[in-house]
Chains A and B, each alone.
Chain A
């Protein structure tokens, strides 16, 4: 890692509106990068792991996009909202539990104080913890361009490991949202790490469940990573569950279905295939159980 100017941007913009942000990106035609907290991007730039960048566009100070709002249907998180804000927010703790849990394990406090959920999602790593939590909740993201703004399911933004479909020449991820868990709903997240020199999780998983009064599962979402090139929605596993009664046998079957739908591999210094499978078999049922208990606790 050198301090050479190839590893530095030249200009730093702090736009005061989305229009200004998008306009700056277009002017730079791909030579500018959006930055939230910078705790991922700037470390990569310093390490020389990034193409040279001429400008940074800091979207964390756009008025109205640095807060967590609740409307009739959604909890809406602006692109400037930090992981620390999410972790502390009573509404997300209650109605988006797996998101507050997953954001609370990202890095350490200093990184969480500055890093944003939007940045985590836009980075499109297969196991970004915040991303995994939001994905299970059914997260959607708002992408703003000069001419149009649209909401898409967040999983549609993941192209390849570390590569998002968000077009850096012209688009900014401005907001994220999910439907808060309601009566009879609960969510949970768990992550397995190692204490040695690897920042990435061995496995990170989150679930969102809806349980009817007779314990039948009427809705389920399961997210996992790293199990492939992008954050993964375990749809096959979810099918196993919906319509069935919550029980530990069901949860074990769900874990098997999840494993059957991915190809876990051994990766050097991170974990063996066997270990990863074991972690899924142990902890996916555990968070399913926890989410079920929270669902029951949320009954009227």
Chain B
């Protein structure tokens, strides 16, 4: 220990701390300044950026004692006496805060930049911002709003970009910053790792680190004996069900007989510190008998494949999903042209910037028993008494977590409470159980609060990824461009456990004909188990994958038929009256034609050219369209329950609270719900408080997935508020509480021919790409888009979802691949996984189309996933137009593209990270 003396936020600090500390640890742990967030501990993501003597540094690799004698500034310093700094206000106004985990780091980087330019007397430009923020990442916003906000804060006149939509009624259609955005900007917002309970222990998990093996023995004795260890648990210590799963429960909480992927959990430890817990892991001895590995979905279907779940009659086949419409043979017989190609899409990683964290609190916990302060009035948090087993976690499915924790602990669901903390991004990657059950088990065992925080590297290893797929698609059309038949066969790598594979691959299949009216469709999709990481929900949910294949084929078709690529979409686009590939008649709300028209109109200005050359660069436009369901569909009951409480007050103003256990992960749900309540109650949205995610206080809003929350929870809140308004009219002046249990219109299962989904949203995107003819590097310069969302309830947060979704898909197309080599992740550190930085952000011009859906709240449909879907094909279609080369696998590899250009090869099937060519796929699946 030594004395560390520095100034932090203007105050002198004199601490006795170990010399082994990093600056980030001193700030967060010793000074309780939790505004500085940790994303990776690898100096890669930049969200831990603070200023040392005015200079931005990444605090996670900055030794604390390097800061000796310096002035350190963190986010907490920016707002003085409740007044926001210009940067903070600009971020709020521009909707530049979504999940908020990157916000402190981004703001500190920007602050230093603004001050540097001011001191130099230079005008701040977008290029300066792009250079300064190059290694400070954001996964939610797509950076556009951030850049605009920084320009505004530097004194330039840059208003927020609010897309044009229908005139606002009272609250609906009004741009509004997300609720809680202010706390995120000041550094006051707390994510799970920012909580510290009195008496808290720290937990770590022993992982398999090999893809497939039988467990012969587990010896935890040495770990138990280590000083500072309070508990070591294995499968033998599980009171209830040793399985979890969001849909099919096939995933062991703690492995007993075998491990099926490298991230499988074998034992968990709770100790006085993370260091002791980590040391204990090294002392746990597990004896394995290695088993042969299956790491490819097509190999997994072969009769001699190793079996991941040996007791399954269907072997590695999780599900064979079928879509049938019309007569496929007749359809192809009618076709004048047939395109038949096979594509491949990679496994990718959500890379939410907040690694997973769960805190388990035992039933009967009281902080004063551990020297903490107890506040009898506190409903939750560190000062509260906890009657029940409680888990604090940023989760997309709080009630689902509750039920899963209860099942493993052998408790009734009502005996478990989930307090949903802020989520630093989810994107589908925080739907499955990660640390919730483990933290609860350890808390009950030790009778202490237990924090289970994943490192970034553990997060990469453990949580489900996007399904890698191989998709063969055969598209037939008549000479005039009208589609007659689409046949597709898909193999999806579901990884070791089911997770949401069945749902994701069903979605991939039902959307595999594209947003087109195709009379004859046949889809066979094989969801396979392998020893890769489990695959699950990830924004786009299977449609991301099949859209790439569909829209690549459409461009080939257009070329073969000598038709304009926009025209061929128009000819076939779904519209009111069309029948989808699952037999659903679209009775309303199908704005795809308008989206296509608007994109074409915006593309074709006076100087429009499809492609041109400038020096060693070639430019070209590419187009793609997409659609995506709103809501769970497929016959699943899609419901949400909301409570609205209103306190009428004529003098001070009526206020209200909305309570619902839905998850906010930065997409802006609270503001949408506040607007719905405000609309019905006739009050300002700012007078509505929204309480999300406490299963003891908030009824179940259902999972945050399937782009369903605005529709389903929005309706629940709207109807509850309307009911409250009616009661207030009947009895003015009396506070009311109304609960509404909302059920979305019934849908039918796949194969029944009925309506599979309550609504679909549609979009068209055109991408202008620049290809460097010397290096093969691809850069997206501009996106022109139009999205039919039914009704824009909050245009500001809607714009953020669209920009963020587009940039996320740019990552999918150009930079991201979660690489696994025979079940062993090569992508084991963040340095090996690049998400788009501000440097990758194109200029985005977007229009809102509003073809209302009558059962949606004020006509609104879902939008969370849609913008992230067609961008990949738009980019690869542009690459083809510029270079004559078709990329059939993602992400695009400049090495492969350059070789193809030089050798005049028109087809490339190797992407970055691919080690073998695209496997052959037999249509219908017979191998």
Q: In angstroms, how far is the closest chain A Cβ from the Cβ of B807?
A: 13
Min C-beta distance of A154 to chain B, whole Å = 25
Whether the Cβ atoms of B42 and A46 lie closer than 8 Å is yes
Q: Which residue of B457, B826, B832 is within 8 Å of A1 (Cβ)?
A: B457
State whether A12 touches B63 (Cβ < 8 A): yes
Inside 8 A of B281's CB, which chain A residues have their CB? 2
Contact A39 B61, beta carbon cutoff 8 Å: yes
Q: Which residues of A contact B891 (CB under 8 A)?
A: 196
B19 touches A11 (CB 8 A): yes
Question: Is A149 interfacial (CB 8 A cutoff)?
Answer: no
A60 to B53, CA, bound (A): 15
Q: Which A residue sits closest to B914, measured CB to CB? A: A269
- The residues of B that contact A8 with a CB separation of less than 8 Å are 20
Binary per-residue interface labels of chain A (88-100) against chain B in the complex, 1 for a CB within 8 Å, 0 otherwise? 0000000000000
B457 touches A275 (CB 8 A): no
**List of A residues within 8 angstroms of B814 by Cβ:** 195-196
The answer to whether A109 touches B455 (Cβ under 8 A) is: no
A114 B57 Cβ-Cβ under 8 A:
yes
**Contact at B275–A4, with CB atoms within 8 Å?**
yes
* A193, B827: Cα distance in complex, Å: 18
Task: Indicate if the CB atoms of A107 and B895 lie closer than 8 Å.
Answer: no
A-B contact count (CB 8 A): 139
Choice from A3, A84, A109 contacting B278 with Cβ under 8 Å = A3
Which one of A110, A274, A278, A282 lies within 8 Å of B46 (CB-CB)? A110
Q: Is A272 an interface residue (CB 8 A)?
A: yes
Interface contact A39-B819, CB-CB below 8 Å? no
Q: Which residue of B lies closest to A115 (CB)?
A: B43
Q: Closest residue to B68 on the A side, CB-wise? A: A14
- Per the 8 Å Cβ criterion, residues 84-142 of B in contact with A are 109, 131-132, 134-136
Is there an interface contact between B279 and A42, defined as CB atoms closer than 8 Å? Answer: no
Chain B residues 47-67 with CB under 8 Å of chain A are: 49, 55-58, 61-66
Asked whether any CB of chain A lies closer than 8 Å to the CB of B643, the reply is: no
Most chain B CB atoms below 10 A, which of A1, A10, A283: A1
- Contact flags (1/0) for B202-215 with A, using CB distance below 8 Å? 00100000000000
Q: Is B380 an interface residue (CB 8 A)?
A: no
- B-side contacts of A109, CB under 8 Å: 56, 109, 131-132, 134-135
Does chain A have a CB within 8 A of B774? yes
Interface contact B912-A110, CB-CB below 8 Å: no
Bound together, the chains give a CA A14 to CA B58 distance in angstroms of 20
A274–B899 CB distance below 8 A: yes
A195:B840 contact, CB within 8 angstroms: yes
0/1 per residue, B4-27, Cβ < 8 Å to A? 000000000000001110000000
**Complex: A46 Cα to B2 Cα, angstroms:** 22
- Tell me the minimal C-beta distance from A12 to chain B in angstroms: 4
A44 CB to nearest chain B CB (Å): 10
Q: Is A263 an interface residue, CB under 8 A from the partner?
A: no
Residue B831 CB within 8 A of the other chain: yes
The chain A residue sitting closest to B277, CB to CB, is A3
Contact among A11, A108, A192 for B775, CB-based, below 8 A: A192
Q: Is the CB of B42 within 8 A of A43?
A: yes
A11 to B827, CA, bound (A): 32
Is A9 an interface residue when CB atoms closer than 8 A count as contact? yes
Provide the bound-state CA to CA distance between A60 and B840, in Å. 34
Are B56 and A272 closer than 8 Å at their CB atoms? Answer: no
Q: Which of A186-223 contact B (CB under 8 A)?
A: 192, 194-199
Q: Could you tell me the distance in whole angstroms from the C-beta of B629 to the nearest C-beta in chain A?
A: 31
Shortest B42–chain A CB gap in Å is: 6
With A5-B275, A110-B135 as known contacts, state yes or no: A194 contacts B912, CB within 8 Å. yes
Shortest C-beta distance, B203 to chain A (Å), equals 12
* B605 at the binding interface (Cβ < 8 Å): no
B898 and A275 form a contact (CB under 8 A):
yes
Q: Do the beta carbons of A199 and B279 come within 8 Å of each other? A: no
Are A58 and B66 neighbours in the complex by a CB distance under 8 Å? yes
Interface residues of A in 116-166 (CB under 8 A from B): none
> Within 8 Å of chain B (Cβ to Cβ): is A240?
no
Contact status A3-B61, CB under 8 Å: no
The answer to whether the Cβ of A62 comes within 8 Å of any Cβ in the partner chain is no
User: Beta-carbon contacts of B426-467 to A below 8 Å, as 1s and 0s?
Assistant: 000000000000000000000000000001010000000000
In the complex, chain A residues whose CB is within 8 Å of the CB of B58: 39, 110-111, 114
Distance of A271 from chain B, by nearest CB (Å): 6
B522 contacts partner chain A, Cβ-Cβ < 8 Å: no
Does chain B have a CB within 8 A of A261?
A: no
Q: Are B455 and A10 in contact (CB-based, < 8 A)?
A: no
- Which residues of chain A in 1-47 are interfacial with respect to chain B, using CB atoms and an 8 Å cutoff? 1-5, 8-12, 14, 35, 38-39, 42-43, 46-47
Across the interface, name the chain B residue whose C-beta is closest to A49.
B829
Query: Are A197 and B57 within 8 A (Cβ)?
Result: no
The number of residues on chain A lying at the interface, defined by a beta carbon within 8 Å of a beta carbon of chain B, is 45
Evaluate whether A12 and B278 lie within 8 angstroms (CB atoms) in the complex, with A109-B131, A275-B895 already known.
no
Instruction: For the complex, give the distance between the alpha carbons of A269 and B819 in Å.
Output: 10
Contacts of A4 in B (CB 8 A): 275, 278-279, 282
How many whole Å from A159's CB to the nearest CB in chain B?
A: 24
In the complex, whether B894 has a CB less than 8 A from a CB of chain A is yes
Looking across the interface, which residue of chain B has its beta carbon closest to that of A266?
B895
Instruction: Give which listed residue, B43, B132, B829, B913, contacts A196 with CB less than 8 A.
Output: B913
If the complex has contacts A42-B61, A114-B62, A196-B891, are A1 and B282 also in contact, measured as CB distance less than 8 A? no
Question: A14, A108, A274: which contacts B135 (Cβ < 8 A)?
Answer: A108
Measured CB to CB, the closest approach of chain A to B745, in angstroms, equals 43
B853 CB to closest chain A CB (Å) equals: 39
- Shortest Cβ distance from A2 into B: residue: B278
Q: By the criterion CB–CB under 8 Å, are A58 and B63 in contact?
A: yes
Q: B36 CB to closest chain A CB, in angstroms?
A: 13
Given that A42-B61, A111-B135 are contacting pairs, would A3 and B274 also be in contact in the complex, using a CB cutoff of 8 Å? yes
Q: Which residue of B lies closest to A4 (CB)?
A: B278
Choose from B56, B62, B204, B833 the contact partner of A38 (Cβ within 8 Å): B62
Q: How far is the CA of A194 from the CA of B815 in the complex (A)?
A: 9
Mask: chain B, 793-805; 1 = CB below 8 Å from A; 0 = not: 0000000000000
* Shortest Cβ gap from A144 to chain B (Å): 21
Smallest Cβ distance from B121 to chain A, in angstroms? 15
Contact with A along B885-918 (1 / 0, CB 8 A): 0000001011100110010000000001100000
- Is A230 interfacial (CB 8 A cutoff)? no
Q: How far in angstroms is the closest Cβ of chain A from B347?
A: 13
Contact B61 A38 (CB under 8 A): yes
Q: Does A56 contact B (CB under 8 A)?
A: yes
Question: Nearest-CB distance from B24 to chain A (Å)?
Answer: 12
Q: How many angstroms between the C-alpha atoms of A42 and B58 in the bound complex?
A: 12
Name the B residues within 8 Å of A107 (CB-CB). Answer: 43, 135
User: Does residue B366 face the partner (Cβ distance < 8 Å to A)?
Assistant: no
Which residues of A are found within 8 Å of B68, using beta-carbon distances?
Answer: 14
The answer, yes or no, to whether B817 is at the interface (CB within 8 Å) is yes
* Interface flag for A279 (CB, 8 Å): yes
Please measure, in the bound complex, the distance between the C-alpha atom of A114 and the C-alpha atom of B56, giving whole angstroms: 9
Say yes or no for A113: interface residue by CB 8 A criterion: yes
Contacts of A113 in B (CB 8 A): 55-57
**What is the bound-complex CA distance between A80 and B65, given in angstroms?**
16
Please tell me if the beta carbons of A12 and B817 are within 8 angstroms of each other in the complex: no
How far, in whole Å, are A272 and B68 apart by their CA atoms in the complex? 46
Tell me if B816 counts as interface (CB < 8 A to partner A).
Answer: yes
In the complex, what distance in Å separates the CA atom of A12 from the CA atom of B68? 11
Query: Which listed residue (A3, A42, A47, A58) contacts B275, Cβ 8 A?
Result: A3
Chain B, residue nearest A47 (CB)? B829
Binding site for B on A (CB under 8 A): 1-5, 8-12, 14, 35, 38-39, 42-43, 46-47, 56, 58, 60, 84, 107-111, 113-114, 192, 194-199, 269, 271-272, 274-275, 278-279, 282-283
13 contacting pairs across A/B (C-beta < 8 A): A9-B19, A12-B64, A12-B65, A43-B42, A108-B46, A110-B57, A110-B58, A111-B135, A195-B815, A195-B840, A198-B832, A274-B899, A278-B902
New A-B contacts (4) at CB < 8 Å, excluding given A195-B834, A197-B819, A269-B912: A108-B136, A109-B109, A110-B46, A196-B912
**Leading 10 A-B pairs by shortest Cβ distance:** A108-B135, A197-B832, A4-B278, A12-B19, A12-B65, A2-B278, A8-B20, A275-B895, A1-B457, A42-B61
